């Protein structure tokens, strides 16, 4: 039996989940790994706060050095959240030669290269399965199990809050604002939901995932990001009629040396495996040149599911003689030799409000045609007060072309109400 002394940075939702799993599953963990994890010190903001786990108060501290600098602590688990001071404390722990396990996608996505450099320099381990999609073992699957593949495409539902909101909007026909406030009341959305609903959280995760998938750093700031705040019940309903489900997808594709990486609301055919991923569940659909299509599905957040990933990293770390780091050059810049395109190709859903008079439809099709865009489906609703709703789905087209075409269409006679990208591969 080996004892590994552990320190926590943070003991909120996830910290308490890890505390419980390490204690309640202790005997099984020992039986499986031959290791006992001894929790020595826990950094918090307020030592007197009531917690979801029965954590002895004498383990709690407000002094980070008692975790990061204690020579007896071998492994530091970070679940404080935010970029700072979490990054600084992790760096300190790595410089002290400790293994760091983090659930913090933001700190990792923004400072991965700095953390990895410190880890390599000091021979420390750095593991982050819990930072992306909670319990779903997507990091290790990408790094280990799919190492034999050139991953060409990844599409994921990687944020449970937005998937919950879109699922309810879709099932109930409700508006965004009403479902968001209900989700906040139920504790499924933060009081400040910006990171989730504006797609930041998904973009941090996509930066980490696409870097591992493409074996080249894809920094957060090259990722196109659009959240769900402008999504309307009307668009979801029109999409449904046409056989599509709306999801906030994190998408990364690579063709040769050109990549696109983007987070935005996306229509997918109802028959696509991601279309049935509902509520707060997450899933990642990927395509590798040898493994073909694959989907991983599960709980992407929550105390116990995230603890599952943290503890799995702890076991992985102790099972290795030397730490494992990505072998691509990790920096804050896009990997040399790669370019990011903002001119990806897909279908587009467009909803217009147009004057119900001759020539308007011709104007729309001409503007699209001028950019080489053809229409796959077109639907028109009866006019109200002389204005009709027109919904169309294009064949594959370039992002820049559709933007140009919509700018040319937009006029008093035909107002563009919404444009949603469609990933049509079922
Ligand atoms: N929630 C999820 O489902 C989930 C899933 C996957 C990953 N994550 C990631 O896990 C991390 C933690 O999330 P969480 O939901 O557990 O957050 P949380 O409930 O807010 O817990 C944060 C913990 O960190 C402590 N803390 C924060 N700032 C501190 C500071 N400056 N000094 C000392 N202690 C500090 C807090 O202390 P007090 O308790 O005294 O306030 C608290 O114990 C985040 O990076 C999040 O993105 C969360």
Query: 111 and 243: one domain?
Result: no
The response to whether residue 81 sits with its C-beta less than 6 Å from ligand 1 reads yes
Ligand 1 binding pocket mutation candidate from 81, 280, 312 (most atoms within 8 A of CB): 81
- Asked whether residue 289 is domain-assigned, the answer is yes
One domain for residues 18 and 92 = yes
> 205 an active-site residue?
yes
Q: Check pocket membership of 301 for ligand 1, CB cut-off 6 A.
A: yes
Query: Is residue 44 in contact with ligand 1, taking CB distance under 6 Å?
Result: yes
Q: What pLDDT sits at residue 424?
A: 72
Res 382: pLDDT: 81
Q: Using the 8-state DSSP alphabet, how is residue 349 labeled?
A: E
77 falls within a domain = yes
Question: Given this model, what pLDDT does residue 376 score?
Answer: 95
Domain boundary among 112, 131, 150: 131
Peptide bond before 85: cis, by omega within 30 degrees of 0? yes
Q: Measured over all CA atoms, what is the biggest interatomic distance in the chain, rounded to whole angstroms?
A: 82
What distance in angstroms lies between residue 90's CA and the mean position of ligand 1's atoms? 14
Q: Whose CA is nearest to atom 1 of ligand 1?
A: 302
Q: To which H or E segment does residue 382 belong?
A: strand 375-384
Q: Residue 284 domain-assigned?
A: yes
Torsion of CA 402, 254, 104, 39, to 10 degrees: 160
| Same domain flag for 160 and 280 | yes
In-domain check, residue 261 = yes
Assign residue 126 the CATH number of its domain. 3.40.50.720
Q: Give the chain's domain count.
A: 3
Please check whether residues 149 and 269 belong to one and the same domain: yes
Same structural domain, 39 and 98: yes
Atom of ligand 1 nearest to the CA of 131: 7
In this structure, the answer to whether residues 121 and 156 fall within a common structural domain is no
The answer to the question of residue 305 being in a domain is no
Question: Digits of tens for pLDDT over the chain (426 positions)?
Answer: 999 999 999 999 999 999 999 999 999 999 999 999 999 999 999 999 999 999 999 999 999 999 999 999 999 999 999 999 999 999 999 999 999 999 999 999 999 999 999 999 999 999 999 999 999 999 999 999 999 999 999 999 999 999 999 999 999 999 999 999 999 999 999 999 999 999 999 999 999 999 999 999 999 999 999 999 999 999 999 999 999 999 999 999 999 999 999 999 999 999 999 999 999 999 999 999 999 999 999 999 999 999 999 999 999 999 999 999 999 999 999 988 899 999 999 999 999 999 988 999 999 999 999 999 999 999 998 878 889 999 999 999 999 999 999 999 988 889 999 999 999 765
Separation of CA 197 and ligand 1 centre (Å): 19
Domain of 371? 345-422
Strand partners for 267? 246, 422
What is the pLDDT, as a whole number, of residue 425? 66
CB distance 18 to ligand 1 below 6 Å: no
Q: How far is the CA of 316 from the centre of ligand 1 (A)?
A: 23
- Cβ of 160 closer than 6 Å to ligand 1, yes or no, is no
Task: Answer yes or no: are the C-beta atoms of 375 and 395 closer than 8 Å.
Answer: yes
Residue 174 lies in a domain: yes
Adjacency order of strands within the sheet including 126-127: 60-61, 35-43, 2-9, 75-78, 99-102, 126-127
Only one residue has tokens 């970070």, namely 78
Ligand 1 centroid vs 84 CA: distance in angstroms?
12
Q: Is 104 in the pocket of ligand 1 (CB under 6 A)?
A: yes
Determine the distance separating the centroid of ligand 1 and the alpha carbon of 249, expressed in angstroms. Answer: 25
Cα–Cα dist 283/273, whole Å: 9
- Ligand 1 centre from 179 Cα, in Å? 25
Residue 119: inside a domain:
yes
User: Which of 7, 8, 10, 109 is the pocket-test mutation for ligand 1 (most atoms within 8 Å of CB)?
Assistant: 10
Q: Which of 205, 247, 333, 404 is catalytic?
A: 205
Domain finish residue from 131, 154, 175: 131
Tell me, yes or no, whether 279 and 368 share the same domain: no
| Spatial separation of the C-alpha atoms in residues 90 and 119, rounded to whole Å | 10
For residue 289 and ligand 1, the question of a CB distance below 6 A is answered with: no
41 C-alpha vs ligand 1 centroid, how far in Å? 16
In this structure, what token pair is assigned to residue 373? 């865009």
Determine the Cα–Cα distance for residues 208 and 201; give it in Å rounded to an integer.
11
Check residue 334 and report its DSSP letter. Answer: P
CB under 8 Å, gap of 24 or more: what pairs does 267-270 form? 267/239, 267/349, 267/420, 267/421, 267/422, 267/423, 268/244, 268/422, 268/423, 268/424, 269/243, 269/244, 269/245, 269/424, 269/426, 270/243, 270/244, 270/245
**173 plus 249 within the same structural domain:** yes
What's the CATH code of the domain at 386?
Answer: 3.30.70.260
Q: Which of 79, 110, 131 is the last residue of a domain?
A: 131
Residues 109 and 168 in one domain: no
| Bridge partner list, 286 | 154, 294
Specify whether 40 is located in the same domain as 126.
Answer: yes
46 CB near ligand 1 (under 6 Å): yes
8, 14, 301: which to mutate for ligand 1, most atoms within 8 A of CB?
Answer: 14
Strand pairing category for 60-61 and 35-43: parallel
Q: What is the CATH number of the domain that holds 221?
A: 3.30.360.10
Q: Are residues 118 and 181 in the same domain?
A: no
- Do 259 and 214 lie in one domain? The reply is yes
Task: Please tell me the predicted confidence (pLDDT) of residue 384.
Answer: 85
Q: What's the rounded Cα separation, in Å, for the pair 400 and 96?
A: 49
For ligand 1, say whether the CB of 103 is within 6 Å of any of its atoms.
yes
Tell whether ligand 1 has an atom less than 6 A from the beta carbon of residue 67. Answer: no
Q: Which two tokens stand for residue 311?
A: 């503890």
Contacts of 330 (CB under 8 A, 6+ apart): 112, 113, 116, 117, 211, 217
- Find out whether the beta carbon of 47 lies less than 6 Å from any atom of ligand 1: no
Is 392 part of any domain? yes
Q: Relative to the CA of 309, which ligand 1 atom is closest?
A: 6
Between the alpha carbon of residue 91 and those of residues 101, 102, 323, the distances in Å are 12, 12, 16
Contact in structure between 166 and 199 (CB atoms under 8 Å): no
């Amino acid at each position: 039996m080996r004892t590994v002394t552990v320190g926590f940075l943070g003991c909120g939702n996830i910290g308490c989940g890890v505390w419980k799993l390490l204690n309640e599953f202790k005997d099984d963990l020992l039986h499986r790994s031959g290791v006992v994890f001894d929790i020595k010190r826990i950094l918090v903001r307020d030592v007197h706060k009531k917690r979801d786990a029965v954590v002895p108060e004498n383990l709690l501290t407000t002094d980070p050095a008692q975790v990061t600098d204690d020579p007896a602590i071998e492994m530091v688990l970070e679940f404080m959240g935010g970029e700072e001071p979490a990054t600084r404390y992790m760096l300190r722990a790595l410089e002290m030669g400790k293994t760091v396990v983090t659930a913090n996608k933001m700190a990792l996505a923004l400072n991965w290269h700095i953390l990895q450099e410190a880890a390599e320099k000091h021979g420390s381990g750095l593991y982050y399965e819990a930072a992306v999609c909670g319990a779903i073992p997507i990091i290790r699957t990408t790094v280990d199990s799919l190492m034999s593949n050139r991953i060409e495409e990844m599409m994921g539902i990687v944020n449970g809050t937005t998937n919950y909101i879109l699922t309810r909007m879709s099932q109930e026909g409700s508006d965004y604002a009403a479902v968001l406030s209900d989700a906040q009341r139920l504790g499924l959305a933060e009081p400040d939901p910006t990171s989730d609903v504006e797609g930041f959280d998904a973009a941090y995760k996509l930066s980490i995932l696409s870097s591992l998938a493409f074996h080249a750093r894809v920094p957060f700031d090259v990722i196109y990001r659009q959240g769900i705040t402008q999504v309307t019940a009307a668009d979801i309903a029109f999409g449904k009629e046409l056989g599509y489900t709306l999801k906030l997808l994190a998408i990364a594709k690579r063709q040769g040396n050109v990549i696109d990486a983007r987070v935005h609301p996306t229509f997918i055919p109802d028959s696509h495996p991601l279309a049935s991923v509902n509520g707060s569940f997450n899933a990642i659909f990927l395509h590798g040149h040898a493994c073909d299509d694959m989907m991983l599905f599960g709980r992407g957040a929550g105390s116990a599911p995230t603890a599952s990933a943290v503890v799995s990293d702890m076991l992985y770390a102790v099972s290795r003689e030397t730490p494992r780091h990505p072998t691509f050059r990790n920096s804050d810049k896009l990997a040399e030799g790669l370019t990011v395109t903002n001119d990806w190709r897909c279908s587009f859903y467009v909803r217009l409000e147009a004057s119900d008079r001759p020539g308007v439809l011709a104007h729309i099709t001409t503007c699209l045609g001028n950019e080489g865009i053809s229409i796959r489906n077109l639907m028109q609703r009866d006019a109200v007060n002389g204005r009709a709703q027109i919904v169309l789905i294009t064949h594959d087209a370039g992002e820049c072309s559709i933007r140009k075409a919509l700018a040319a269409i937009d006029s008093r006679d035909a107002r563009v109400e919404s444009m949603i990208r469609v990933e049509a591969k079922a």
